[in-house]
Amino acid sequence: MAVMIGVVGALSAFYHEAEDFSDVLHRNISFNRIVAKMPSIVALAYKYSRGEPFMYPRNDLDYTSNFMHMMFGTPCEKYEPNPVLVHALDTIFTLHADHEQNASTSTVRLAGSSGANPYACISAGIGCLWGPAHGGANEACLKMLEEIGDVSRVPEYIKRAKDKNDNFKLMGFGHRVYKNFDPRAKIMRKICTDVLQELGLENDRLFKLALELERIALEDEYFIEKKLYPNVDFYSGIVQKAIGIPTEMFTCIFALARTVGWMAQWEEMISDPEYKIGRPRQLYVGTPVRDVPAFDKR
């Protein structure tokens, strides 16, 4: 994520037409350029972290297949993306593209309202997404499953999740917006099953754990009453892990997908002739009016 923030922000040093976003053509060029370059930036950051040679894009592949080629390909042999895995990752990109006025989208719009160039705005959004409370949900979910370890330990952790005095939190359940079942989770559940079947991982330990947690969440009165249903992050982490994406790259994948939504939000705001610089206000709720003692009595 640190590499992505730096590289995306630095793009404005190479593409100066982004500074003149009053021109519709320049805005469209910037929009397409950022969306097109994100897969390369993520894949090259991954290769750099592993000390592996960079893989350049291929014009004969589509957007998601090209990304997988740059992530997992090597110079020694031609990489042929698996259609089932491509469809799974493409679905993840689509489901994460935009999602209301969340923290990172608000950050992009606020940065853009000052007149900052789009590369700076997207870099700001990546920085916000980097926070574990926002972009790290699927990674946290996978870590939780690893902590539970085995299906036999699920009742123990369910009990802990219900205990108000226990710090353990059941990740991947409930959502700030969706008060019932996350519709994206229903799609990802099927994708998860398809990927694990394709890779021969139907008996995968983490997937079995996930299914047992899901069963309990849909039947237990505590979860039903509090409407703690599985959300999209519950399954997307398992899918990415099965594909071969390491957990430290999950938030980068999120940023790649969300860039489309960020740019659409930025474009919508900039296109409005009435837009003004954002200025969130604060209401002081601190100490009320106090009597000040006379100087000689202080």
Supply the residues annotated as catalytic.
175, 233
196, 202 Cβ separation under 8 angstroms: yes
User: Across-strand partners of 74?
Assistant: 77
